[in-house]
Amino acid sequence: MPIGVPYNATFTFNGIAATVTSVQVETPVAEIVDMTGVGDATGYTVQVATGAITGGAVTVDFLYAGGTDPQTLVGTNGILAFTSSAYSVSRRAILESASVTAQTADVVRGQLKFRMTDSTV
Distances (CA, A) of 102 to 11, 44, 107: 19, 55, 7
One DSSP character per residue, 21-60 reads EEEEEEPPEEEEEE---TTSPTT---EEEEEEEE--EEEE
Output the pTM of the full model: 0.70
Q: What is the pLDDT of residues 29-86, one digit of tens each?
A: 777 888 888 888 888 888 887 766 667 888 999 988 666 788 899 999 999 998 888 7
Compute the average pLDDT of residues 15-23. 87
Q: Does domain 10-28+55-120 have CATH number 3.40.50.1370?
A: no
Question: What does the mean pLDDT of the chain come to?
Answer: 82
Cα separation, 116 vs 79, whole angstroms: 10
Helices and strands of the chain, counted as H and E runs: 0, 8
